[in-house]
Amino acid sequence: ASQAIRPRRNPFLSPRFAVLQKACLSTETRAAIDKAVGSAPVVLFMKGTPETPQCGFSRASIQILGLQGVNPQKFTAFNVLEDEELRQGIKEYSEWPTIPQLYVDKEFVGGTDILMSMHQDGSLAKLLEEKDVLVAAEAE
């Protein structure tokens, strides 16, 4: 009887390895990211700054937040290009492989693709309104 050859599984994709990867994020880096995520109601980890985004996805995320009417006083951004530990750490922290990353009220929302989709279906507007982070409408 011939033995069926089983396809080899990539050990790096196993749940056990994910636990090890999480452990790679130093306590100091995790604490710094926790502090950053809690520093404002709306936090964007991006490449560049809101004034000078350094990639198209970061630019698109800033534009979406602007279109939504996010209050600048309730928003902050962190430039991951200034800090390699932050750049790698935020990906492990959120378990999301790309930047930019948006957090609202300390909750991870997603990257540009998620923001774009939520912007188009109206769920981003609803979330931002619920969290009271939009510029107040002028009283008539």
Q: For the chain, what are the domain ranges?
A: 27-129
More confident: 11 or 136: 136
Beta bridge partners of 76: 43
CATH superfamily ID and name for 27-129: Glutaredoxin (3.40.30.10)
**CA 90 – CA 105 distance, rounded (Å):** 16
20-42 residue pLDDT tens: 555 578 899 999 999 999 999 99
pLDDT in tens, 46-68: 999 999 999 999 999 999 999 99
With CA atoms as reference, report the closest residue to 55 among 108, 16, 7, 98.
98
d(CA 134, CA 122): 14
Q: What is the pTM of this model?
A: 0.82
Instruction: Give the mean model confidence (pLDDT) for residues 90-106.
Output: 96
